Structure 1
Amino acid sequence: MNPFLWLIDTIIDIYIWIMIASAVLSWLIAFNVVNTRNPIVNNIGEFLYRVTEPALRPIRNMLPNLGGIDISPVILIILLLFLKQFIFWAYLKLFI
């Protein structure tokens, strides 16, 4: 595999796992399993929010109000997987 493609694949995979971690942490906070007054939990939550929110905000603005359900992480993960497949397809069409 091309090193550039490997790098893009790895970055997208890491970002997808960060999205999943952010969703799980938000559920744990919502159900009072973890306390945000804990400095470690607060720092992790703040980091995950700062990394994921710039990508999620435009998707949330386009989606209709679904009550308390936020499906923007699912949509972003699907878009990232599509982007990854498109990049591999374009590479194969252009260079092989």
Structure 2
Amino acid sequence: MSALLWLFDTVVQVYMIFLIASIVLSWLIAFNVANPYNQFVYTIRDFLARITEPALQPIRRILPDLGGIDLSPMVLIIGIIFVQRLVHEAFGPMAYGM
């Protein structure tokens, strides 16, 4: 069971890294540091959007429109951490024989 918890934690951490990379890339594009028409930037942006947007869209539908501020990634990260802690509370004692 501890191996499954390790795998779950690793997948969650990698997903949060992708989410943060998507945020940083969107800022770089917004401030004209990265060119969205560059093939490499476009490929990375497309990959990150395909990974993160399915989880962010339902949150964006619920949150009010705040103009140029998008709080959905922060809400998603808080939700992911909450679920991660729930899983650890539920399965942690079984995994470590407590």
TM-score, normalised via structure 1 length: 0.95
CA distance in 2, matches of 1:20, 1:76: 11
Task: Determine if the alignment matches structure 1 residue 68 to structure 2 residue 68.
Answer: yes
Give 5+ residue unaligned stretches, structure 2: none
Alignment of 1:1-96 (within 5 A): 2-92=2-92, 95=94, 96=98
CA distance in 1, matches of 2:81, 2:16: 9
1:37 Cα offset (Å): 1.2
CA distance in 1, matches of 2:37, 2:64: 32
Which amino acid is 2:15 matched to?
Answer: Y
Give 5+ residue unaligned stretches, structure 1: none
1:92 Cα offset (Å): 3.1
CA distance in 1, matches of 2:92, 2:55: 28
Count of aligned pairs between the two proteins: 95
With a CA cutoff of 8 Å and minimum separation of 6, indicate the structure with the bigger relative contact order. Answer: 2
1:21 Cα offset (Å): 0.2
CA distance in 1, matches of 2:81, 2:17: 12
Which amino acid is 2:84 matched to?
Answer: K
Runs of 4+ in 1 over 4 A off after TM superposition: none
1:72 Cα offset (Å): 0.2
Which amino acid is 1:26 matched to?
Answer: S
TM-score, normalised via structure 2 length: 0.93
